[in-house]
Structure 1
Amino acid sequence: MKRAVHFAAAWLLAVAGAVHPGSAGAAGSAVPVVRVGVTCGVHAEILDEVKRVAAARGLDVDVVVFDDASRIDTALARGRIDAASFEDAQQLAATRTAKGYALAEVAPTVTLPMAFYSRKMRSLNELRPGMAVAIPADPRGMSRALVLLQNETLLTLRERAGLHAALRDVTGNRLGLKLVALPRDRLFAALDTAAFVAIGSEDAAHMGLQPSRDSIGIEDARSPYANVLTVRDADRAQPWVAQLAAAYHSDDVARFILVRYQDSVRRPW
């Protein structure tokens, strides 16, 4: 979790103004164009603001919106785009393992937080022993929910489980909560029966829920599930990478995120 916030120093020391590897070669002969792949919605909206900031600093960014997120890492690995901003570090690691892509995370971007929602309580302090808690049944969603429950001191997990925790890894449950694993499409209905429900950001948005407004517990901005800016391994030392990351971490972009999304989109930088 900590390493996600230690990238910035290296980026900001890089020298700006180098020509992109795919653009015209002579110094000053062309403005480099960095093609960044994103999904529609939050990531595209934020990258439009990053593009504006980067342009003022001499870096031309082309925001390439994909309808299918599963195509973005492949496009990056094959050189069709130069960077990507759409997935968290855990998803990137899984893609590298599954497909062997030589991709590197170079900057944290935003955290789209999992949160706890309830129709029965206004605070986790109202929990009583034996209450039912609904969590996602899919392995990734379950792990994320269990880690959040541990962060709220409601559960203790087997240390070696790490970010791949499952129900079998629960070693402590101080209130004897009943953990009910449900498919994602049944989580919203569980709000009628469970004390609270753990729901991911995308699903919550589809249900009309906003973490900053409606939740009673929320992931930290510096979550290990923070999204990341990704480039090819071969490009990670290129000056344009530092420029792009610095534009993303600018005060203007921070202000845009706060005003547009409040705390429903969180900054890990």
Structure 2
Amino acid sequence: MKKIVSVFCALLFFASAAQAAEKIVLGVTPFPAQEIAAVAAGVLEKQGYEVEIKEFTDFIQPNLALADGSLDANFFQHLPYLENMRSEKNLDIVPLVKVHLLPIGIYSHKVKSIAEVGERAVVAVPNDPTNGFRAYKLLEREGLLKMKDGINLTARDIVENPKKLKIIELEAPQLPRTLRDTTISVINMNFAVDAGLDPSKDALALEDKDSPYAVVLACRGEDKDSPKIKALAAALNSPEVKKFITEELASKGVLPAF
């Protein structure tokens, strides 16, 4: 009888432990963060964590949701963007680990190479400070513009524009829709892929693998040492995630950053 009671108590203990599994609410943007997060969620679920992935379609709400406690962490942004948002919005959000590189690229439905970009061509770029900087530096690398030194570059910081390009600055998610009206558009990879573009085939130019803009996991400063956040960071830097990025996403231009 004592043995039966002991077994019954053990079953109750394990059932209670399963019910008490900690939940992690993780905010992401679409491809590839959502897919990478899903692989990490599988790793975490084997460790007893329940992972809820919330998808956002812009670059602002995931940080606001993290700051107000709606999320435990988010995974969508590179470090310069995080630093800018943290300063601008006075947010207590900190980076934890780098996960992948998501190169920004130049795309077109009208020309097949950078050399074909002609006089007074229309060029669309992101209007947020860090992605705008990336876009202008990529255009400069490709010989289309010469920019001032510094950060947070805008069209006002162009010092040489030999082809008299017409620059249009727009919200990053809108850029794929501009391709029918522009000569070239500089588009973040996740929005390019969502629009059916293949960066490895369709981009006229891409940031290279040495770009400093790796996408990072972020959380509130007060939570950075909590066990579940540490487990999340380890899962996003796990062999499973690295294998997934290398085997499934590399052909689309996504690279592991760890």
* Paired residues for 1:81-230 under 5 Å: 81-118=71-108, 119-122=110-113, 124=114, 126=115, 130=119, 132=121, 134-136=123-125, 138-140=127-129, 142-152=132-142, 154-159=144-149, 161-162=150-151, 164-172=152-160, 176-182=162-168, 183=170, 184=174, 187-190=178-181, 194=183, 196-230=184-218
One-letter code aligned to 1:108: K
Distance change in 2, residues 1:78/1:138 (3 Å):
closer
Query: Hey, what does 1:54 align to over in structure 2?
Result: 44
In the alignment, does 2:227 pair up with 1:236?
Answer: no
Instruction: State the Cα distance separating 1:59 from its structure 2 match.
Output: 5.7
What is the TM-score normalised by the length of structure 2? Answer: 0.72
Highest CA radius of gyration, 1 or 2?
Answer: 2
CA change 1:67–1:217 in 2 (3 A) is closer
Is 1:142–1:181's contact at 8 Å kept on the other side of the alignment? no
1:251 and 2:242 matched: no
Would the alpha carbon gap of residues 221 and 60 (structure 1) be closer, same or farther in structure 2, given more than 3 Å must change?
A: farther
- Residue 95 of structure 1 and its aligned partner are, at CA, apart by 3.0
Q: Which runs of 5+ in 1 are unaligned?
A: 1-28
TM-score (norm 1): 0.70
Q: 1:170–1:197: structure 2 CA closer, same or farther, 3 Å change rule?
A: same
**Is the Cα–Cα contact under 8 Å of residues 132 and 153 in structure 2 kept in the other structure?**
yes
The 5 Å alignment of 1:5-20 reads: none
The answer to whether the Cα contact below 8 Å between 1:135 and 1:142 also exists between their aligned partners in 2 is no
Cα deviation for residue 104 of structure 1 reads: 0.3
Matched residue of 1:101: which SS? coil
Give the root-mean-square deviation of aligned CA atoms: 3.4
Change (3 A) 1:74 1:200: closer
The count of residues paired between Structure 1 and Structure 2 equals 233
List structure 1 runs of 4+ shifted beyond 6 angstroms: none
Structure 2 distance, partners of 1:137, 1:238, is: 35
Contact 2:120/2:166, CA 8 A, preserved across alignment: no
Q: 1:37 aligns with which of 10, 27, 33?
A: 27
Distance in 1 between the 2:211 and 2:224 partners? 23
Cα distance, 1:106–1:209 mapped onto 2, change above 3 Å: same
Distance 1:77 1:156 in 2: 38
Write the letter of the residue equivalent to 2:52. V
